[in-house]
Amino acid sequence: MTAYALTDSWTMTRRELARWARQPVTVVVNLAFPVMLLLMFGYLIGGGRGVRGDYVDYLVPGMLALTMAFGLEGTMIAVTRDLERGVVDRFRSLPMADGAVLVGRSAADMLQSAAGLVVLTAVGYALGWRAHGGPGAFLGAMGLLLLLRFAMLWVGIFLALVAGKPELVQAVQILVWPVGFLSNAFAAPDSMPGWLGTAVQWNPLSQTATAVRDLLGGPGGEPGHAWAAVGWPLVLLAVFFPLAVGRFARLSR
């Protein structure tokens, strides 16, 4: 990406950050939702079928991975709303790089996702969870989580552009829920029926959760999953990033 495109993308990122300042409730809700899930599964539904070891140590990395797949609708709605209201037409009348609107919006989302990881990690520490892998392993785990978020974000943007209207985004977002819960975030695949456990193990979210558990020294971690935790998001990005940028360019002409 050229310096010109980076400057335009940063301008769009600052636009989204200014929108957050005007709508702080949305930001707070997005940060609070994964905390609510963590507390609910940790205290109300806790137990974790097939989990060997402390369930909180298993649950927190799973929740960190699950959070990277949720909360995409904010970005999806913002992109479709800009198209519907003609905001993008005004941007295109300016000397702006193609795709800067999408890159800027995704950059703002990644900042919020990083803040969400900080909040959820702090709550996990309050519940008694501890990371045992050292600073390097901890940073590596956070990097895998944000890579998954970045890939899921571009899948969401493309699906939103296919939906075309903000009111249809909610229906598209529902598709994320089966992907999120059909994972090893809350329970071990060994405790599930054979076919279901196999599907869960192949889920990219499960691969990231397993790699994060391994890096952070928690139960359910298995060495060697870091390659899959990197490979799956890169495959998703290779497919959906160009699809999203291309469709956005066609819709905004």
Predicted local distance difference test score (pLDDT) of residue 192: 78
Residue 189 DSSP code? G
Per DSSP, the residues of 28-45 read HHHHHHHHHHHHIIIIIS
Choice among 88-97, 212-221, 233-242 with the minimum mean pLDDT:
88-97
Is the pLDDT at 44 greater than 50, yes or no?
A: no
Higher pLDDT, 55 or 148: 148
Confidence of residue 117 (pLDDT cuts 50, 70, 90): very high
Cβ atoms of residues 181 and 33 within 8 Å? no
Predicted local distance difference test score (pLDDT) of residue 46: 56
**Residue range 238-247, pLDDT digits in tens:** 999 999 888 8
Mean pLDDT over 178-203 rounds to 82
Displacement of CA 114 from its chain's centroid (Å)? 10
Mean pLDDT over 62-71 rounds to 87
Cβ atoms of residues 52 and 15 within 8 Å? no
Average pLDDT, the chain: 80
**Residue range 137-189, pLDDT digits in tens:** 999 999 999 999 999 999 988 888 887 777 777 766 677 777 777 888 888 88
Predicted local distance difference test score (pLDDT) of residue 188: 83
Confidence of residue 3 (pLDDT cuts 50, 70, 90): low
Is the pLDDT at 90 greater than 70, yes or no?
A: no
Predicted local distance difference test score (pLDDT) of residue 122: 93
Predicted local distance difference test score (pLDDT) of residue 161: 84
**Tokens 């949720």 label which residue?**
70
High-pLDDT (> 70) share of the chain, %: 74
Higher pLDDT, 104 or 16: 104
Domain layout of the chain by residue ranges: 3-251
Predicted local distance difference test score (pLDDT) of residue 49: 59
Q: Taking the CB of residue 52, how many other CB atoms lie within 10 A of it?
A: 11
| Global pTM exceeds 0.85 | no
Residue 201 contacts by C-beta under 8 Å, 6 or more apart in sequence? 184, 189
